[in-house]
Amino acid sequence: MHEVTFSSDGETQAKMEIDQGYRFADLELEERSFHLFFNRDNASLKNARIVEPQSKLQIARGKGSYFWGNARFEFVGGEVYKIKRKKNVNGYEIIGPYGTLFKIENHAMTKVSTYNEHDFLAQAFFVFERIKVTQSRPSDVIIYTSNYYPVTSNK
């Protein structure tokens, strides 16, 4: 597993372990843990999921799209985080309700501060997405998926 540490002012705040096949990530924040993944391994925002593994409760779900301007994370408490993607020549910036959540400049992630747990979870998901999109799976990890559904005749 690949490991990413999130820190603020020199102290480690959280740790994220990413699967070698880049299918999911496990995030440990203080005493809590979260499971981040894309439903059906399809890397689009509407398939984004954040689940708490102990209770199997879906904490957040991605909805909408950047193209139509309705991209958002919907959290279990009913809180909705509207998200905008602002592109520029050297990268892009993900803007949430309280300001910048995630920023790419010159193909590198830039340091961004968060304000609460929901901000941090959304930021961690975008870090996972960026790693998933930019890295390729190792040759010894083979993921086989099929859309074949056997059809039987009714006789």
In the chain, what percentage of residues exceed pLDDT 90?
Answer: 29
98 is a domain residue: no
148 is a domain residue: no
Per residue in 70-103, pLDDT (tens digit) is 999 999 988 998 999 999 898 999 998 888 988 9
91 is a domain residue: no
What total of structural domains would you count in the chain? 1
29 is a domain residue: yes
154 is a domain residue: no
Per residue in 116-142, pLDDT (tens digit) is 888 888 989 989 988 888 887 776 666
35 is a domain residue: yes
93 is a domain residue: no
Q: Could you give the C-alpha distances from 59 to 5, 13, 27, 106, in angstroms and in order?
A: 21, 20, 13, 32
Residue in 107, 102, 97 with CA at minimum distance from that of residue 125: 102
- The domain in which residue 53 lies consists of 2-81+115-134
Starting at the earlier edge strand, list the strands of the sheet with 48-52. Answer: 2-8, 11-18, 24-29, 32-38, 48-52, 57-63, 72-75, 80-82
Apex 104 CA angle, 91 and 112, nearest 5: 145
pLDDT at 29 over 80: yes
